[in-house]
Amino acid sequence: MSDDTVKIFDTTLRDGEQSPGCSMTTAEKMKVAKELVKLGVDIIEAGFPIASPGDFEAVRKIANEFGSQTTICGLARCRKDDIDRAWEALKDAEKSRIHVFLATSSIHREHKLKMNKEQIVETAVEMVKRARDYCPDIEFSPEDAARTEKDFLCEVVEKAIDAGATTVNIPDTVGYATPAHFHDVITTLKKNVPNIDRAVISTHCHNDLGLAVANSLAAVEAGARQIECTINGLGERAGNCALEEVVMALKTRADYYGVHTNINTKRLYPISHLVSTVTGMTVQRNKAIVGKNAFAHEAGIHQHGILQERTTYEIMHPDDVGYVGSNLVLGKHSGRHAFRDRIQSLGHTLDDETFERIFKEFIVLADKKKEIYDSDIVALIENQVTDA
């Protein structure tokens, strides 16, 4: 893969599923995995095999069914049993990856793991080697990397690469980083880890401060070439970096970033809808890229602009994300241009006088209703015809 390709690592089925109330059955996971393959993600993190028999089964089935089309990944703590179980689930896939993680920040070392720095390094090295004995594609994550002392982070990453890690993932586990800070973390690794070019640098940003996408983009700018993300930004607490947002940011601003992904962006809207249906987690209307209002224009000035030349108020084409439906929403802010356009698309031609009368009635109605449907417009037209 060339240096201008950013790999998309989807973790909807693992970190996304950790979102409270979003657990999925194996059958539902299979459906989502099938769509992720069509979407063109490079890696699917299908689950955490040691977590439960259901998780193990889902990873195994996804690996067997889709492991020849894309890389299937299973998560493991730095524990022998976790790694063995992950491999057991993945072993029949043509393309598989074991993802091992161990926290490195002082807060986690002292309060959660009760391990000192030497023990962390020793454990990470031993477990990466164990995983590498099974599989050539190994990802290592120093959990809570964004709050880890930089010199220690560099040391752990260097040793993990020496032990066989082929991807080093830098998690902002608690969404603490800001774009400048995260850029600096990646730059520091690139400068100070002598063997860093032997591994792909990856990002894994949580959204506690609403910065997961911005931080992932900052990391790409600093040299990261894999982004971990989820459909609709699903995930623990405020979620993970939203796949659809980060992918469209890289595509729309390719002039700035100079990189591309393998994502078929036309499948973004359909998969967002599927994940929302399967998890029951509704997508907010004004959510970027896949929200119902993401391409909707109500203001008359905007609608007029769009009807003249789309790019006046649109930086992306709705077709490019697979959005279907009208993007000119009729409401009290709409003008005559959009109203006439909608009447024509509904198959009606009106003389100027009738049009003006109906337009006035439409504005009065729009003041009373949040949304005007095509059926409301047809009713206004039919009333005119009946009254005449």
Which residues are near Zn ion by CB under 5 A? 15
| Nearest distance in Å: CB 86, ligand KIV | 12
Site for ligand KIV in 150-169 (CB under 6 A): 169
Closest C-alpha among 77, 174, 168 to residue 120 = 77
- Residue 101's binding partner among Zn ion, ligand KIV, none (Cβ under 5 to 8 angstroms by kind) is ligand KIV
Cα–Cα distance list, 48 to 84, 147, 251, 267, 371 (Å) = 12, 24, 31, 26, 44
> Measured in whole angstroms, how far is the alpha carbon of residue 298 from the centre of its chain?
27
| Nearest distance in Å: CB 42, Zn ion | 18
The token pair at 267 is 């499948």
Amino acid at 15: D
- Residue 143's binding partner among Zn ion, ligand KIV, none (Cβ under 5 to 8 angstroms by kind) is ligand KIV
- Residue 7's binding partner among Zn ion, ligand KIV, none (Cβ under 5 to 8 angstroms by kind) is none
Size of the site for ligand KIV (CB under 6 A): 9
- Residue 96's binding partner among ligand KIV, Zn ion, none (Cβ under 5 to 8 angstroms by kind) is none
Cβ proximity to ligand KIV: between 215 and 265 the closer is 215
**CB neighbours of residue 191 within 10 Å:** 10
Burial of 114 (0-12, 13-18, 19+ CB in 10 A): exposed
Task: Tell me, residue by residue from 173 to 192, as one string, x for binding to ligand KIV by CB under 6 A and - for no binding.
Answer: x-------------------
Cβ proximity to ligand KIV: between 143 and 245 the closer is 143
Q: Is 55 annotated as a binding residue?
A: no
Cβ proximity to Zn ion: between 15 and 42 the closer is 15
Cβ proximity to ligand KIV: between 204 and 304 the closer is 204
Applying CB under 6 A, among 137, 143, 158, 244 the residue interacting with ligand KIV is 143
Cβ proximity to Zn ion: between 160 and 205 the closer is 205
DSSP codes joined into one string, 152-213: HHHHHHHHHHHHT-SEEEEEETTS---HHHHHHHHHHHHHH-TTGGGSEEEEEEB-TTS-HH
Taking the C-alpha atoms of residue 44 and residue 207, their distance in angstroms, rounded to an integer, is 20
| Nearest distance in Å: CB 70, Zn ion | 20
Residue 141 found at the interface with ligand KIV (CB under 6 A): yes
Applying CB under 6 A, among 6, 7, 8, 15 the residue interacting with ligand KIV is 15
| Nearest distance in Å: CB 103, ligand KIV | 8
Residue 10 found at the interface with ligand KIV (CB under 6 A): no
First-residue to last-residue Cα distance in the chain: 68
Cβ contacts of 342 within 8 Å, gap of 6 or more: 326, 328, 330, 374, 377
Cβ proximity to ligand KIV: between 96 and 141 the closer is 141
Estimate the share of the chain in helix, then strand, then coil, as percent rounded to the nearest 5.
50, 15, 35
